[in-house]
Structure 1
Amino acid sequence: MSTTDGRIPLPLLPSTHPLGRAAVTCEYRCGSACSHEAPNTSDNAYFGDVVRSIVSRRGMLRAGAVLAVAGAGAAVVGGSAAAAPAGEQGQDRRRPARGLDFAPVAPNTEDRIVTAEGYESAVVIKWGDPVLPGAPAFDFDKQTAAAQAKQFGFNNDFCGLVPLTHDRYLMVSNHEYTSESFMFKGFDAANPTEEQVRIGWAAHGLSVVAVERDGRSGKLLPKIDRRYNRRITMTSEFEVDGPAAGSALLRTKADPSGRKVLGTMNNCAGGVTPWGTILSGEENFNQYFANANQVTDPVAKARLARYGLSGGATTRKWERFDERFDVAKEPNEVNRFGWVVELDPLEPDSAPVKHTALGRFKHEGANIQVARDGRVVAYLGDDERFDYIYKFVSTQRMRPGQSRWARAHNKKLLSEGTLYVARFTGDSPASEIGSQTPPSDGAFDGTGEWIPLASGDKSYVDGFTAEEVYVFTRLAADKVGATKMDRPEDVQPNPVTGRVYAALTNNTDRGKPGKEGPTEINPRNGNRHGHVLEWEEKGGDHTALTFSWRLLLVCGDPAATDTYFGGYDKSQVSPISCPDNLAFDRHGNLWISTDGNALGSNDGLFAVATQGPERGHVKQFLTVPIGAETCGPVIEDKFVLVSVQHPGELDGASADNPMAHWPEGGSAQPRPAVAVIWKPGRKIGE
């Protein structure tokens, strides 16, 4: 439904949370991070004129350098203002971009998946469904840790597919966190039982599930595959590799080697590597560790605080049943989380690996681009207010093919290389930033550089050893003056154009007293709706140390003056708020899932062309049920997968008082699930 002027109406869902998300979700998911002070208290300011003069002396691209039109063979060249990509000069916009020929879904608050007209949806797998042979049928009222360890975990986020044969895949899902008051009736948050805690341990981690597409129905059907299906939980063994493996900073009483870790937690986004493995990011790990307030050593206390640890007991009370979650008793266990994990679903007996070379912070995920010279580049976001964007460039080059020899080599590529952090510079006067409209040159744009932090056992940061850079990456990035961002989440290279995109979800603290104000790269005070960043490495070389950037989207209500949609007619776009996960289709269109829609409607999945006359034309493809977040989109020609996380998670709701019932309907408890969407007889978006 739309109004007579083409604008989509916004039915509002009341919320007391400043970002539209339920407070109960914030408590379980990130330890209510937004209600606490942001842990980045460094005084590194936004670099403007000073950095531009340094940039000039180094011969970097001038501020405002043009973004090349990738795919057309154009190079990045200098200029006094950023040239507008195709689509910003008033061309005919009546024909939809290739792959995006669908009518947008209107915002809504329904307790179901609402798709674009002509599409169908079905659940692939949901919390508690069997994954391993012998798994019992799910019984909400009779859960056990032993059963959960064989069943699909809770609150699935990232979803990735590794092909096996035609229409048969291994689907890997992250299980980010547990919401105990929605898992157990009569739950006493102050006194969880040991069995409830162990169920929580088993409900975290990852699931590997064989799935097969039914060509007749369009559904994606899970299979109990005795060879490949797998559950990774908080008690699974992980290897630590890279330059910090074995460091004294990672050694514990249970693991004096510093090379073996039990479990992975708060796994958010991720990526599929070109060699067929899965990368998974450990994000809000800080909330699982208790009693940082009992630590008295000033250096240790400062390190903990920079990662968001300062309080006493945790929400889940895991520390009561395993002292490794008590930093006063086991100070180094927390250092063993906050890494990028690599899992090989094709080798089910292999231990997953935590890669120290990629640094330790609140990883949203990691995504790989193979550079021209064969080295691989991993792009990384640290999901915290005023934190940073990173990249890693491998030392070794990728070997082509999927032979055992090639895969063994490629699985070591993320063990050795150089870790960088980004510094962004805008090209507009400070007086034009924060004025609720784009600068006078018509775009939020500029240049940037990658600042090296460490490579192998060499540190580039004064006062830090290489091991300290990897384990306390945030503090090292503070020291070199990285650019503070508005919660950088998913960072994805476009496989068609080579440009890189980052979702900046929001930052309501920007511009508050004592906090950094608007900058050209983060142009709004009290940024509730977030934005999408686009950059191109110099010469299209992903190993380059400089780049040019611009904002593709400044999200929010299109009627608001502070929103921007790539120069597209704002009366024709879908409202979008809080971009989170990113994905691309084969045409190079960007697909965006949202988390915490601050406009009052359900979260959803959106698509936007990144080039051509439709650039900036945001269209909503689907909405997820009430209380849910849209995660882990996978965009294939024949189908789309979305992870529906925390459905029904509304303030005032609980297992004793469910206020939503997706996916089973009736009076059933809501259950997180993966859903598949398809269009009978047609490809997605056509």
Structure 2
Amino acid sequence: MALVPLNLLISHNGRSSRQHITCRYKCGDACSKPAPNTSDNEYFGDIVKRMSRRSVLQTAGVTVLAVGAGSVLAACSTGSDAPQASSSTTAAPPETLPGMKFDAVAPNSEDAVVIPSGYQQGVVISWGDPVLPGAPVFDVAKQTAAAQRQQFGFNNDFAAVMPIEGQPGRYLLVNNFEYVTPQFMFPGYDAKAPTREQFDIEIAAIGMGVVELERTPQGGLRPVMGRYNRRITADTPFTLTGPAAGTDFVKTAADPTGRTVAGTFANCAGGVTPWGTVLSGEENFHSYFGAAEGAPAPNKVDADRQDRYGVALEPTELLWETFDPRFDVSKSPNEVNRFGYVVELNPWDPNSTPLKHSAMGRLKHEGANIYVTDDGSVVAYTGDDERFDYMYKFVSSKKIQPGRDGAAMANNMAILDEGTLYVAKLGSDIPAAEIDGSGKLPAKGSFAGTGTWLPLLKSGPGGQAESLVDGFTAQEVAVFTRMAADKAGATKMDRPEDFEANPKTGKVYVALTNNDERGAPGEAAVDAANPRNDNKSGQVLEITDDHTGTAFTWDLLLVCGDPAAADTYFAGFDKTKVSPISCPDNLAFDSHGNLWVSTDGNALDSNDGLFAVALDGPNRGETKQFLSVPLGAETCGPVVTDDFVTVSVQHPGENDDNSIDNPLSRWPEGGNGTARPSVVAVWRDGGNIGV
């Protein structure tokens, strides 16, 4: 495979490698617009000027755990006055941990999925492949909305691979289809004059899908026409639950009860619940709603609410508002309030109606993931993926019932409707003068601190709820959660995306992808958890949480970027022995307790990829690249098992100077084929992953 010069991976605005066209269709060009959070919430520099370490701990109500030796060692970088990781040639290097025993993939710009030696790969399913009986074979020149409703959707993101009980080698694959980029779907597309058929295809191409899989004799995975197969689109009926349901904020002419929502879209990451359902986060929903030029402005209250979510009275990129008035905020102002929730799907019942849980708040949910305490309490963690937005958790007041029978499933699918929603406020005793925006480690040798979960909303049976924020009703907190969190005083973070709890230790990890406005004039200054100005490469936060309580401690596990740069940190591990990593996005764990990180928008002039990270002992911080994805693609939805790894390859070949008529990528078909978002499986010849 011929290499493409690295300088062809053009950076949007000189930041990450995400292309402008991706920003336009994926997030409504949010990175080129002012951040919606204009609150004046404190940052750490304000806090530590007034609070000693003792007062921070008293406020948090928690004793700080002793920091392991691995995490207090400084990064091995030139020009840092902080303690350096040992570079002694006499000390034996730590033995590679199980799960990470593979040859690291080097940074590259190949138009291929690149994997370690000794491993095999295969495409599992691609955009347009049949999902339902009767679906036609994909033909890019003969697309129809009817066909797309029976086919695998576009730009697959989150994936769950769920074993089918009693059927070895059989699984359910559940996918999100996050967004559409019509220039890479339709030959001859005219962005100024899309057709009705193209609109109908786009409605059918996003949402979610369920596909049965089976292991192949070679070790890969392939789809089968099973009884669970299903497509969910931007007009599939959903039931809205919790405090928002039935309120005036969500009632529309098409749904005067405010309880049945047409569709889901902008579905980014997600999670699998212990009771066997799948959670999906509605993220950049705002970009689907607009209005014609000159549309009358709403009153100030509604305008402020729209602004806080990035909704604008202007034509959208897709122009859906010209085909369906529900996407026109001047004609149906409440429709946008029906999106931005955590969605729950029962993939084991193809006839079930999926839910939208308003008790978990309305924001740009990257996804949601569950941790269950020893007493059966359920805690769901979720991030609001925007510059300077917040981290949340929901603690249910209900307990899990075992099994998947009717009574158990009915109980468990209501777990996320009753409980308390919190938002995170972080602090640190690191002197403000030691957080100067350069990323230089403080004198203590690591970035660490304490935090408090601030209560926002308490929800009960039947949508009953109590606001825990002065000046907000319970219904306002559920629908305009960002504004309630502003009032509560949450900490502004650098794009909090995926949350994952380590099933072995209970520690919680957060991917903070990047924030090139950190420290800019008029924006939030650096703090200990977000320590770099113009943060192009992001970081990974580690939280030791009192899961059902309100206190936690935190450390930065990784400060991502070029290991040779002084502003990067790998938990004290020798930086000459790690893979470069930039823009962490989705997280997963293997059976050995290693963290796996997929990336989006690599700012280091190479393709995005999937990385394994050691968390304990002398290997803590060791980072190894397991695979890279093709040109222009993003690595999404990693699933890591002992037998195989799967990733979603999203938007391959998406580049400002290209289109389906002038492609940058031909992956996965090659030759004269069309670039198609796909799920890929990787397995090892005659053995398990990484051992």
TM-score interval, normalised by the smaller of the two chains: over 0.9
TM-score (norm 2): 0.93
Q: Does 1:520 align with 2:528?
A: yes
Alignment of 1:495-506 (within 5 A): 495-506=503-514
Amino acid corresponding to residue 188 of structure 1 in structure 2: D
* Preserved CA contact (<8 Å) 2:423 2:485: yes
**Aligned partner of 1:642 among 643, 647, 650:** 647
**Aligned partner of 2:609 among 595, 598, 604:** 604
Task: After superposition, give the CA deviation of every residue in 1:346-397 in whole Å (9 maximum; x if it has no partner).
Answer: 0111000000010000000000000222110000000000000000000111
Tell me by how many angstroms 1:12 deviates: 4.7
Q: How many aligned residue pairs are there?
A: 661
The aligned residue for residue 445 of structure 1 is 448
Alpha-carbon distance between aligned partners in 2 of 1:16 and 1:97, rounded to the nearest angstrom: 35
* Preserved CA contact (<8 Å) 2:368 2:499: yes
Aligned to 1:101, the other structure's residue is in SS state coil
Aligned to 1:489, the other structure's residue is in SS state strand
* Preserved CA contact (<8 Å) 1:558 1:575: yes
Alpha-carbon distance between aligned partners in 1 of 2:517 and 2:433, rounded to the nearest angstrom: 20
Tell me by how many angstroms 1:266 deviates: 0.6
**Aligned partner of 1:475 among 483, 490, 497:** 483
* Preserved CA contact (<8 Å) 2:361 2:478: yes
Task: After superposition, give the CA deviation of every residue in 1:531-561 in whole Å (9 maximum; x if it has no partner).
Answer: 00001014xxx11210010000000000100
Amino acid corresponding to residue 58 of structure 2 in structure 1: G
Task: After superposition, give the CA deviation of every residue in 1:167-222 in whole Å (9 maximum; x if it has no partner).
Answer: 111110000000101111111101100000000000010010000112x3011010
Alpha-carbon distance between aligned partners in 1 of 2:100 and 2:235, rounded to the nearest angstrom: 43
**Aligned partner of 1:583 among 578, 581, 588:** 588
Alpha-carbon distance between aligned partners in 2 of 1:312 and 1:602, rounded to the nearest angstrom: 34
* Preserved CA contact (<8 Å) 1:639 1:678: yes
Amino acid corresponding to residue 654 of structure 1 in structure 2: S
Alignment of 1:384-395 (within 5 A): 384-395=386-397
Alignment of 1:315-464 (within 5 A): 315-433=317-435, 434-456=437-459, 457-464=465-472
Task: After superposition, give the CA deviation of every residue in 1:570-611 in whole Å (9 maximum; x if it has no partner).
Answer: 011000000000000011100000000000100000001111
Task: After superposition, give the CA deviation of every residue in 1:412-441 in whole Å (9 maximum; x if it has no partner).
Answer: 100111000000002210110124311000
* Preserved CA contact (<8 Å) 1:52 1:425: no
Task: After superposition, give the CA deviation of every residue in 1:429-454 in whole Å (9 maximum; x if it has no partner).
Answer: 01101243110000000000000001
* Preserved CA contact (<8 Å) 2:540 2:584: yes
Alpha-carbon distance between aligned partners in 1 of 2:569 and 2:538, rounded to the nearest angstrom: 11
Q: Does 1:15 align with 2:20?
A: no
* Preserved CA contact (<8 Å) 1:428 1:520: yes
Q: Does 1:243 align with 2:246?
A: no
Alpha-carbon distance between aligned partners in 1 of 2:562 and 2:470, rounded to the nearest angstrom: 44
Alignment of 1:89-168 (within 5 A): 92-164=92-164, 165-168=167-170
CA RMSD of aligned residues (A): 2.0
Alpha-carbon distance between aligned partners in 1 of 2:328 and 2:118, rounded to the nearest angstrom: 52
* Preserved CA contact (<8 Å) 2:127 2:154: yes
Alpha-carbon distance between aligned partners in 2 of 1:391 and 1:52, rounded to the nearest angstrom: 25
The aligned residue for residue 79 of structure 2 is none
The aligned residue for residue 680 of structure 2 is 675
* Preserved CA contact (<8 Å) 1:64 1:446: no
Task: After superposition, give the CA deviation of every residue in 1:115-148 in whole Å (9 maximum; x if it has no partner).
Answer: 0111111000000000000101111001000000
Q: Does 1:632 align with 2:637?
A: yes
Task: After superposition, give the CA deviation of every residue in 1:485-529 in whole Å (9 maximum; x if it has no partner).
Answer: 000000110101110000000000011111111100100000000
List alignment gaps of at least 5 residues for structure 2.
77-83, 460-464
The aligned residue for residue 291 of structure 2 is 291
Q: Percent identity?
A: 57
* Preserved CA contact (<8 Å) 1:64 1:445: no
* Preserved CA contact (<8 Å) 1:363 1:382: yes
Aligned to 1:475, the other structure's residue is in SS state helix
Alpha-carbon distance between aligned partners in 1 of 2:359 and 2:641, rounded to the nearest angstrom: 31
Tell me by how many angstroms 1:54 deviates: 10
Tell me by how many angstroms 1:161 deviates: 1.8
Alpha-carbon distance between aligned partners in 2 of 1:376 and 1:57, rounded to the nearest angstrom: 27
Aligned to 2:198, the other structure's residue is in SS state helix
Q: Does 1:182 align with 2:145?
A: no
The aligned residue for residue 27 of structure 2 is 30
Tell me by how many angstroms 1:82 deviates: 8.3
Q: Does 1:567 align with 2:572?
A: yes
* Preserved CA contact (<8 Å) 2:57 2:450: no
Amino acid corresponding to residue 613 of structure 1 in structure 2: P
Tell me by how many angstroms 1:163 deviates: 1.6
Alpha-carbon distance between aligned partners in 1 of 2:655 and 2:534, rounded to the nearest angstrom: 24
Aligned to 2:657, the other structure's residue is in SS state coil
